[in-house]
Chains A and B, each alone.
Chain A
Amino acid sequence: MSELSVNHLLGIKYLNKQDVQLIFETADHFKEVINRPIKKVPSLRDITIANLFFENSTRTKLSFELAEKRLSADVINFSAAQSSVKKGETLIDTVNNILSMKVDMVVMRHPNPGASVFLSKHIKANIINAGDGAHEHPTQALLDSYSIREKLGEVAGKNVVIVGDILHSRVALSNIYALKLQGANVKVCGPKTLIPKYIEKLGVTVETDLRKALQWCDVANMLRVQNERMDISYFPSTREYTQQFGVNKELLDSLDKEITIMHPGPINRGVEITSDVADSKQAIILDQVQNGVAVRMAVIYLLASKLKQ
Chain B
Amino acid sequence: MSQKVLLNATAINIILHRLACQLIENHNDFSNTVLIGIQPRGSFLANRLAEVLKTDYKIKDLKLGLLDITFYRDDFRRGDKTLAANSTEIDFEIENKKVVFIDDVLFTGRSIRSALTAIQSFGRPDDIELLTLIDRRFSRHLPIQPDYRGRQVDAINEEKVKVHWMENEGEDCVYLVQN
Interface residues of A (CB under 8 A from B): 2-3, 25-26, 28-29, 32-33, 36-44, 46, 71, 301-302, 304-309
A309 to B78, CA, bound (A): 6
Nearest Cβ on chain A to B169's Cβ, whole angstroms: 21
> Do residues B77 and A304 form an inter-chain contact, with CB atoms below 8 A?
yes
A contact residues around B76 at 8 Å (CB): 43-44, 305
CB distance from A155 to the nearest CB of B (A): 21
Tell me the residues in window 32-91 of chain B with beta carbons closer than 8 Å to chain A beta carbons. 68, 70-73, 76-78, 81-88
Min Cβ gap A80→B in Å is: 31
Closest to A29 in B: B85
Cα distance, A308 to B79, chains bound together (Å):
8
**What is the CB-to-nearest-CB distance from A18 to chain B, in angstroms, rounded to a whole number?**
13
How many Å lie between the Cα of A33 and that of B86 in the bound state? 12
CA of A127 to CA of B88, assembled, Å: 30
Residues from chain A with Cβ under 8 Å of B87 in the complex: 28-29, 32
Contact B82 A306 (CB under 8 A): yes
Q: Does B120 contact A (CB under 8 A)?
A: yes
| Nearest CB on A from B2, distance (A) | 30
Q: Please pick, from A28, A38, A71, the residue contacting B121 in the complex, using a CB distance under 8 A.
A: A38
B134 to chain A, nearest CB (A): 26
Q: Are A302 and B82 in contact (CB under 8 A)?
A: yes
Query: How far apart are the CA atoms of A28 and B71 in the complex, in Å?
Result: 13
> In the bound complex, what is the Cα–Cα distance between A42 and B88 (angstroms)?
16
A40 touches B81 (CB 8 A): no
B121 adjacent to A3 (CB under 8 Å) = no
Residues of A within 8 A of B122 (CB): 36-38
When the two chains form the complex, which single residue of B77, B83, B117 contacts A42, counting CB atoms closer than 8 Å?
B117
Neighbouring A residues of B73 by C-beta, 8 Å: 43
Please list 14 pairs of residues, one from A and one from B, whose beta carbons are closer than 8 Å in the complex, sorted by A's number: A2-B83, A2-B84, A29-B71, A29-B86, A33-B88, A37-B121, A37-B123, A38-B120, A38-B121, A42-B71, A44-B76, A304-B77, A308-B77, A309-B77
**Contacts A43-B71, A305-B77, A309-B77 known; A26 to B120 CB distance under 8 Å?**
no
| Residue of B82, B88, B123 touching A3 (CB-CB under 8 A) | B82
Q: Is the CB of A307 within 8 A of B117?
A: no
Number of A-B contacts (CB under 8 A): 56
Report whether A3 and B71 are in contact in the complex, using a CB–CB cutoff of 8 Å. no
Chain B residues whose CB sits within 8 angstroms of the CB of A301 once the complex forms:
71
CB of B82 within 8 A of CB of A42, answer: no
Shortest Cβ distance from B123 into A: residue: A37
Residue contact B83 to A29, C-beta cutoff 8 Å: no
Interface centre among A26, A29, A308 (most CB of B within 10 A): A29
Find chain A residues with CB under 8 A from B71 CB.
Answer: 29, 33, 41-43, 71, 301
Is B82's CB under 8 angstroms from A36's CB? no
User: Which residues of A are found within 8 Å of B120, using beta-carbon distances?
Assistant: 38
Q: How far is the CA of A288 from the CA of B121 in the complex (A)?
A: 25
Contacts of B117 in A (CB 8 A): 42
Residues from chain B with a CB closer than 8 A to the CB of A26 are: 85
Give which listed residue, A3, A28, A29, A309, contacts B81 with CB less than 8 A.
A3
Residues of A within 8 A of B86 (CB): 29
Using A29-B68, A42-B117 as known contacts, list a sample of 9 further A-B pairs with CB atoms less than 8 Å apart, ordered by residue number in A. A3-B82, A28-B87, A29-B70, A29-B85, A41-B72, A46-B77, A301-B71, A305-B77, A306-B82
CA distance A32 to B85 in the complex (A): 12
Q: Give Cα A40–Cα B71 distance, bound, in whole angstroms.
A: 9
